Structure 1
Amino acid sequence: MAGAAAQPGPELLDFAAFRDSSTQPVVYGYGQRSLRELRAREFRRLEGTVYLDHAGATLFPQSQLTSFTHDLMENVYGNPHSQNISSKLTHDTVEQVRYRVLAHFHTCPEDYSVVFTAGSTAALKLVAEAFPWVCPSQESSGSRFCYLTDSHTSVVGMRTIATAMNVTSVPVRPEEMESAEKRGAATGDPDCQLPHLFCYPAQSNFSGTRYPLTWIGDVKSGRMCPVSVPGKWFVVLDAASYVSTSPLDLSVHQADFVPLSFYKIFGFPTGLGALLVHNRIAPLLRKTYFGGGTAAAYLAGEDFYIPRQSVVERFEDGTISFLDVIALKHGFDALERLTGGMENIKQHTFTLARYTYTALSSLRYPNGACVVRIYSDSEFSSPEVQGPVINFNVLDESGNIIGYSQVDKMASLYNIQVRTGCFCNTGACQRHLGISDKMVKKHLQAGHVCGDDVDLIDGQPTGSVRISFGYMSTLEDAQAFLRFIIATRLCPSGGQPIPQATPGAPPAESEAQNTMTATMDGCSSSPEEDTDPDPKVWNDLSTAVDAVSLNPPVLEATRTQHTPSEIAAGVLDGGLGPHVVTNLYLYPIKSCAAFEVTRWPLGKQGLLYDRSWMVVNHNGICLSQKQEPRLCLIQPFIDLQQRIMVIKAKGMKPIEVPLEQNGEQAQICQSKVCADRVNTSDCGEKISSWLSEFLGRPCHLIKQSSNFQRNAKKHGKGQSAGTTATLSLVNKAQYLLINRSSVLELQQQLNASDENGKEKLFPMKDLISRFRANIITNGTSAFEEEKWDEISIGPLHFQVLGPCHRCQMICIDQKTGQRNQNVFQKLSESRERKVNFGVYLMHTSLDLSSHFLSVGSQVLPVLKA
């Protein structure tokens, strides 16, 4: 890793000093166009958010959407395949957009045709299917498909089509292309016209490396060859990443095929791309399928088909997404009006990237070790060789990599949005991270797949972190990111409370609300032994179930050395006698406040009614505290005697919801939880209005259907898939257990880091509430629960399914809804970069007709063999 020298230590690199010391032009902003005003006027929705994933998708300006909406409201656009007036308007407008696309890339209809596709992936697939491959024979070795290993998945996927046609695919490493430049033309028959195809990215979507556009002319002319075979080479320039922030002049660099996606440039519309086809290759392309609008004539009862003449009419199967095409016109208008053109965007975004790279690469720990490892083929010397992308991994003081998942979670706490993983570019990921083919297969066997959060295996990274800038990115965005790295790596004890992630939302309650100790009218208590009740009590919920309130039960003296009041009050510390259950919580509404009990019946999916309901937005998407922290201020109470759930929140009148809905009146709908589709029923407009008023957004309360079964993905030891446990609306498992000794150790670490006494202390009960567990036990040592294989709680047996991998929700104070990153950061530091806390449990018995969990029950763990 190389970078320009900068001030050592945690100080933020001064931009003026960076500009004055730069040997390259430093262009920030768009001249007379105020970048600050642009952000305030066009991107108000970004207030409070630092968006650094423009290589994934850039953002559209408000005026683009407004202009497009007005266009649709003022004009009638019909199907362009018809002949009426509105269809003629659509056809002419679409053709005008084609000209606009070509002009944007400095070419014309005489040289290129614009074939609209569903995106760059569809464009690449079209090339692979239509290219005039020649299969090998006795006289010829056949065509070759060569691709740079630093290519997007969609490029590498073209080889499956080539293989199906018996065409040889050859991966080419970047260093091999550099050697080919020096080696020059291949030897062989100069008159051989055997067609070969070479595909490479103008800009790596992994590292931002910009590969020479001169390769196009060199490969096509034969001055350099990816592989030494006689024939004629054609070039696919994957421009999707490059053209998002840089101009492309096709009058100079005339690739045969140029796939692109427009959302990379404009942010809107999505799902629309294009394949720019050079007209000299167009007559050679083969068509294996014909759809609506592509046929000049055909017969339904005979194999007779005559395609239309132009390449556009031949390859745009069916009706194109014509309204989205029309939206492009407004995208071009907005981009030109706001920035002055792609050259300005290129200079502005590169300046931000080079400044961030310079500052980031200079950061050092007190021992001199680098804070980050940057994966780059350049030193960010010029926008000709480097795009506005920085790919890196964060290191600890010993040089060990901190998993990208942990970095992503911490960034989210600072309202910074980044991209992590391998970015659909396994080849570049392997090259930069030193991951061998054997290791990739080993990672797969270990359960890691593309796009998951398994960031470290045997201490080695499976991916990295990427930040990228767009035309509306600002210096403040770059500096906010740098401050985040400095605060979390170089000043970890000085972190400040995180502002709310939802600007404009109603402020959180100023007064603390104790969500864990509220009492419930109608819940009675009476002394009970920890024995199984009459099954009739369970079968008829209209019969009172005793001892379900917060009042402690009377316990046998042999159970514990502590009084019931001590247990129920939650004052036990680790190391005091045998393991016992000290607290029980259920969370009737997913992500809402806990309901604490001393004794509670078990259902087939865990504690009865635990996560049976959830709040969804107007689109039916489940809301969690990540998006809506104020959910923790909503307090549900279950009254089994009256068969109702009472919901309370400060400033709102309590509202009742029946535990069971009338099947005839329930509105059935489908929702998703952790990628699982679940059948649910809507709980009605009354509670919907109540929640919408409190949260300040339209939402509904839905309940999992009683006859729907959702199987757990985690299986117990020796358990077959056919007997797997069933889940409510929980994420992973039926139960979650945490150990007070583990909480105590975390509390001590948090308080010890408060050197100046400025940070608020974290009371034990407040810390416990952040982890949202069902079962709290006292223990003899911290994190001993992770060594358990199974446990017994009274007469009940559970298997331990593994640790709970924590997300940023543990940073939300469950009394106020306010965020503070300290808890997550301290766990990340102390737990070897894996934020595990608590363990998942599964009940091993299939007969749950008469079982209860009770505070004070003895816990007997069995260690792993």
Structure 2
Amino acid sequence: MAGEAAGPGAEPLAFPQCWDPSAPRLARGYGQRSLRELRESEFGRLAETIYLDHAGATLFPQSQLTNFTKDLMENVYGNPHSQSISSKLTHDTVEQVRYRVLAHFHTTPEDYSMVFTSGSTAALKLVAEAFPWVSRGPENSKSQFCYLTDNHTSVVGMRKVAEAMDITSTAVSPEDMRAAEERGAVACDPDCQLPHLFCYPAQSNFSGTRYPLSWIEQVKSGRLGPVDVPGKWFVLLDAASYVSTSPLDLSAHQADFVPISFYKIFGFPTGLGALLINNRVAPLLRKSYFGGGTAAAYLAGEDFYVSRPSVAERFEDGTISYLDVIALKHGFDALERLTGGMENIAQHTFTLARYTYATLSSLRYSNGAPVVQIYSDSEFSSPEVQGPIINFNVLDDSGNIIGYSEVDKMASLYNIHLRTGCFCNTGACQRHLGISNEMVKKYFEAGHVCGDNIDLVDGQPTGSVRISFGYMSTFEDAQAFLRFIIATRLGSPGDQHVPQASTEEARTPSAEGKVQDMLTAAGRDCISLQKGMDSGVWNNSSSTMNTMSLCPTLSKTTNTQQTPTEEAAGILPGDLGPHSVTNLYLYPIKSCAAFEVTRWPVGNQGLLYDRSWMVVNHNGICLSQKQEPRLCLIQPFINLQQRIMVIKAKGMEPIEVPLEEDNERIQICQSRVCTDRVNTYDCGEKISSWLSKFLGRPCHLIKQSSNLQRNAKKKQGKDQPVGITATLSLVNEAQYLLINTSSILELHQHLNTSDENGKEELFPMKDLISRFRANIIMSGTKAFEEEKWDEVSIGPLHFQVMGPCHRCQMICINQQTGQLNQDVFQKLSESRTRKVKFGVYLMHTSLDSSSPCFLSVGSQVVPVLKENAGHHD
């Protein structure tokens, strides 16, 4: 594999060496416009965001959207299938865009037809269904479907259509194709016209490898055979990834089928693609379905149908997304105006990728071990062999892979947007990461599915990390990413590790300051942590709405002699036993501040009213602290006697919300929590206005309705007792979360070792406990012993331990200030051997509904160890 790190002590590649001397003006931008001007005028929404997922979807410029909206406001566009003036305008505009698309790919309607689809996936499906497969006769008289293993899922999925037609499918590796290319000509029967189809990507969406466009003509002419069978080969070139940053000349490389997705090029519109079909192939295509607009004539009561003559009219079933097609016109205008064309984009994005690749591959730990492992088939020597994509995994100083999920979470703390996983390209993922077919099946059996965050199974990676550049990407973006890797792996974002751009733009103080500020802003936050906890979460005695006054009947019956405010975030004295409950918290409003109690009723979904409410945005999407850190400053208090929840926040008048609404007056609405559908109801305009004012954005408070119960998902390998169905509130995973103070103390020691002067405790215990947002805090004898438990009894209640809680970026948010500090996540990752988990989930295995149940501070915790519990890492 390419991308091995340079030897110990090697100097990073100097910036000028990365630069193509043939295009020095790109250092300043495109033409007379600098990249800074481009970013400020067209992509101001990026601000301090480092967006590095252009292979997933690039970003649209503001002027494209502005001009498109202006076009729609000034013109009337009707259905192109009608005959009115507005419909004729639509039809003519759509046809003009067709010409524009073909011209973009250096071809004409005489050579290619273009069919609009919902995207490249739909275009691929169209080819699979319409290709003139021959399936009758002996095996050597049937069509063959071949595809490169380094293909997107949507190409591999074509084999299911082929299978239904009794067509043999064959996966061909890049090595096999290169070996066949070296061997030269293959035996070919010029009289055999048996049609076969070969599919390969112009650019791997996994690694950015660019495969030779010369393969098109070699395969079609019979000089290069994916498999040795007689017949006529047709070539499908998957260009979706390639054309996002590079020109494609179809006059020179005449593939038979070329699927594309326009959002990869322009960012907008989404849900629109096209299939470019070589006109020499078009008459061979078959169609089994016809929709509106495709018929020249048909009968409803008799099998009579005549299709329209043109290829587009034959295959565009129904009314195309004509307004989105019109948006393409403004996309082409903006792209050409801002960049001067795809050639400039190709050079600019490749230069950024080569610079980043060279620097990234040179990074080493003090022991000489590489910081990353890069998955590439090239040394980024030219745009002909490599696109602006870098795929890698981060390593520790012993060479072990750090899971991509942890890298992704850390990157988000630096506001860096990248992509992780296998990128819908299992073949390339297997090849580069050395994952066998048996391992893929094993991973699936272990619970891993495409797109989840299970990044390691038995220490082996299930995927990787990918960054990719777009035409609006800058050197500051690349350097910010490199400094993030250095800061999190080598301990310092020092400039000595990152070669600086030799351009006037990159040398300006404001440009360098922007990158440095981005890396150090969160670091400064930890210095300003408040010593006192004044939000009322921990020191309820400072509030007139404390637990004792709200729930006098409950507080009188508590079985602990300790005042709930005296040791709110500490460990209770040892006379309560080695395992006992020290603190109880519920979180009435999801992602808002905790409400501490000493004794509290238990319901079927957990602590009564725990996560019964949540704040949603104007689209009804649940807000969390990851999007809105100020949620932690909203403090709810529940008064069971008065049946109200009082909500407080600094600078706001307290507001009351009833615990229950009159079911006859509320209107049920649908919401989602962790992909689950839940019934909720809106708590009214008064609280909506209160929240919107405090958060500075339109939002609503909604409450879970009792009309639809949400059942817990069964975990892999965890069988719930027969007849027991655990129900959930608006929590993510389980009814309860338990953490151990001994575990917190270990993390506390790791975090505060960086305070060399000993003058300031950067992360007090109270601060750490609140970050993990647990329901039950217990005293324990050993750190992380709770992860070895299978079951646990707390007082009269019995629970099943559902496994560890895998942590996200929210633990980096100070729950008293809303400030962010990345060190918590990073130190936890380092101390837990790169597995960022903390605390365990609990579920009821039985609950006696005949009498009230309570959880209390001071209750004894009695664990049951897992069978054959081994040493915990």
Counterpart contact for 1:573–1:778, Cα < 8 Å? no
What does 1:372-771 align with in structure 2 at a 5 Å threshold? 372-491=372-491, 513-514=534-535, 515-519=537-541, 521=544, 525=548, 546=552, 548=554, 553=558, 555=560, 567-568=567-568, 570-572=570-572, 577-714=577-714, 718-720=719-721, 723-755=724-756, 761-771=762-772
What is the aligned-residue RMSD (CA, Å)? 2.6
- Matched AA of 1:733: A
What is the CA-CA distance between 1:252 and the residue it aligns to? 0.3
Distance change (3 Å), C-alpha of 1:748 and 1:861:
same
* Counterparts of 1:717 and 1:236, CA distance in 2: 46
Taking the aligned partners of 1:473 and 1:219, their CA distance within structure 2 comes to 36
SS in 1 for 2:465: strand
- Contact kept, 8 Å, 1:733 with 1:841, in 2: the verdict is yes
The answer for unaligned runs of 5 or more in structure 2 is 495-515, 523-527, 868-873
Structure 1 residue 753, shift from structure 2 partner: 2.7
Structure 2 counterpart of 1:863, one-letter code: L
CA contact (8 A) 2:31 2:340 kept: no
- Distance, in Å, in 2 between the alignment partners of 1:552 and 1:103 is 81
Deviations 1:526-550 (A, max 9, x none): 9xxxxxxxxxxxxxxxxx954556x
Cα distance between partner residues in 2 of 1:768 and 1:188: 72
CA apart distance, 1:843: 1.5
Is residue 357 of structure 2 the alignment partner of residue 335 of structure 1? no
CA 1:377–1:722 in structure 2 vs 1: closer, same or farther (change >3 Å)?
farther
Task: Name 1:99's counterpart in structure 2.
Answer: 99
- The answer for the alignment partner of 1:532 in structure 2 is none
CA drift of 1:375 comes to: 0.1
> Residue 229 of structure 2 aligns to a residue in which SS?
coil
Q: Distance in 2 between matches of 1:772 and 1:65?
A: 42
What displacement does 1:444 show? 0.6
- In the other structure, the counterpart of 1:156 is 156
> Matches of 2:165 and 2:368 in 1, distance apart?
55
Given that 2:547 and 2:597 are in contact with CA atoms closer than 8 Å, whether structure 1 keeps it comes out as no
CA contact (8 A) 1:646 1:656 kept: yes
Shift of 1:552: 9.8
Shift of 1:714: 3.5
Letter in 1 for 2:459: G
Does the 8 Å CA contact 1:575/1:741 hold for their aligned counterparts? no
CA distance in 2, matches of 1:649, 1:757: 34
Aligned mates of 1:652, 1:174 — CA distance in 2: 63
- Structure 1 contact 692–699 (Cα < 8 Å) conserved: yes
Closer, same or farther in 2 for the Cα pair 1:609/1:13, shift >3 Å?
farther
Q: 134-143 or 825-834, which moves further after superposition?
A: 134-143
What is the Cα deviation at residue 719 of structure 1? 2.1
Judged with a 3 Å threshold, the aligned counterparts in structure 2 of structure 1 residues 473 and 288 are, in CA distance, closer, same or farther, namely same
Within 5 Å, give how 1:261-272 maps onto structure 2: 261-272=261-272
Is residue 850 of structure 1 aligned with residue 852 of structure 2? Answer: yes
Q: In structure 2, do the counterparts of structure 1 residues 764 and 133 end up closer, same or farther at CA, with 3 Å as the change threshold?
A: same
- 1:305 equivalenced with 2:288 (yes/no): no
Offset, 1:723: 2.1
Instruction: Provide the C-alpha distance between the structure 2 equivalents of 1:576 and 1:18, rounded to a whole number of angstroms.
Output: 65
**How is 1:17-96 mapped onto 2 (pairs within 5 angstroms)?**
18-19=18-19, 27-28=26-27, 29-96=29-96
Contact 2:188 2:222 in 1 (8 A): no
Q: Is the 8 A contact 2:2 2:379 kept in 1?
A: yes
Aligned equivalents of 1:16, 1:323: Cα separation in 2: 45
Which residue pairs with 1:828 in the alignment?
829
Distance 1:309 1:792 in 2: 75
Stretch of structure 1 that moved more, 570-579 or 617-626 = 570-579
**Deviations, residues 58-108 of structure 1 (Å, cap 9, x unaligned):** 000000000000000000000000000000000000000000000100000
- How far residue 17 of structure 1 moved from its aligned partner, in angstroms, is 6.2
Q: Report the Cα distance in structure 1 between the residues aligned to 2:574 and 2:94, rounded to whole angstroms.
A: 71
For 1:238 and 1:271, the matched residues in 2 are separated by 17
CA–CA distance in structure 2, aligned partners of residues 18 and 301 of structure 1? 68
Q: Is 1:778 matched with 2:741?
A: no
> Alpha-carbon deviation of 1:523?
6.0
Q: Measure, in 2, the Cα distance between the counterparts of 1:633 and 1:564.
A: 21
What is the CA distance between 1:136 and its match in structure 2? 3.5
Query: C-alpha distance in 2, partners of 1:842/1:591?
Result: 20
Deviation, 1:5, is 8.6
CA distance in 2 between partners of 1:404 and 1:587 (Å) = 30
Contact 1:12 1:479 in 2 (8 A): no
Mapped to 2, the partners of 1:324 and 1:41 lie a distance apart of 24
Structure 1 residue 675, shift from structure 2 partner:
0.4
Q: What amino acid is the match of 2:108? A: C
Which digits, 9 at most, give the CA deviation of each residue in 1:732-763, with x for residues without a partner?
Answer: 00000000000001001111133355875211
SS of the residue corresponding to residue 680 of structure 2 reads strand
Counterparts of 2:595 and 2:790 in 1: how far apart (Å)? 28
- 1:861 maps to what in 2? 863
1:537 aligned partner: none
With 515-524 and 75-84 compared, the bigger mean Cα shift is at 515-524
| Letter of the 1:148 counterpart | L
- Specify the code of the residue in structure 2 equivalent to 1:476: E
Is the 2:547–2:596 contact (alpha carbons within 8 Å) kept by the matching residues of 1? no
Q: Contact between 1:3 and 1:379, CA under 8 Å: does it hold in 2?
A: yes
- More displaced stretch, 98-107 vs 715-724: 715-724
Deviation at 1:16, TM superposition (A): 4.5
Q: Find the residue that maps to 1:670 and give its secondary structure.
A: strand
* Paired residues for 1:348-363 under 5 Å: 348-363=348-363
Residue 571 of structure 1 and its aligned partner are, at CA, apart by 4.1
Describe the SS at the equivalent of 2:540.
coil
- Secondary structure at the counterpart of residue 723 of structure 1: coil
**Can you give the 5+ residue segments of structure 1 that lack an aligned partner in the other structure?**
502-506, 527-543, 557-561
> Which secondary structure does the structure 2 equivalent of 1:768 belong to?
helix
Q: Offset at 1:770?
A: 0.0
- Normalising by structure 1, we get a TM-score of 0.93
Aligned: 1:816 with 2:817: yes
By how many angstroms is 1:208 displaced? Answer: 0.2
Q: Distance in 2 between matches of 1:47 and 1:569?
A: 38
Q: Quick check: 1:245–1:471 contact (8 Å CA) kept in 2?
A: yes
Q: Which amino acid aligns with 1:794?
A: G
Q: Deviations over 1:151-198 (max 9, x none)?
A: 000000000001111111111100111112122332142210111111
CA contact (8 A) 1:145 1:167 kept: yes
Amino acid at match of 1:518: N
Deviation at 1:724, TM superposition (A): 1.8
**Structure 2 vs 1, CA of residues 806 and 139 (structure 1 numbering), >3 Å: closer, same or farther?**
closer
| SS of residue in 1 equivalent to 2:33 | coil
Aligned residue number for residue 292 of structure 1: 292
Q: 1:367–1:137: structure 2 CA closer, same or farther, 3 Å change rule?
A: same
Cross-structure match for 1:535: none
Q: What is the aligned partner in structure 2 of residue 126 from structure 1?
A: 126
In structure 2, the residue matched to 1:793 is 794
1:412-465 Cα distance to aligned partner (Å, 9 max, x none): 100001100000000000000000001001111111000000000011000000
Bigger Cα displacement from structure 2, 607-616 vs 186-195: 186-195
Q: Is the 8 A contact 1:209 1:386 kept in 2?
A: yes
- C-alpha contact (below 8 Å) 1:576/1:780 kept by paired residues: no
Task: Output the CA distance in 1 between the equivalents of 2:857 and 2:529.
Answer: 32
Q: Say if 1:5 and 1:763 are closer, same or farther in 2 by CA, change over 3 A.
A: closer
CA distance in 1, matches of 2:530, 2:272: 44
Instruction: Name the CA shift for 1:24/1:224 in 2 (closer, same or farther; >3 Å).
Output: farther
Shift of 1:672: 0.5
Deviation at 1:670, TM superposition (A): 0.6
Paired AA for residue 451 in structure 1:
G
Q: Secondary structure at the match of 1:41?
A: helix
C-alpha separation in 2, matches of 1:27 and 1:524: 64
Displacement after TM superposition at 1:48 (Å):
1.3
Moved more, 841-850 or 738-747: 841-850
TM-score by length of 2: 0.92
Instruction: Tell me if the contact between 1:497 and 1:820 (Cα under 8 Å) persists in the aligned partners.
Output: no
What is the letter of the counterpart of residue 754 of structure 1? D
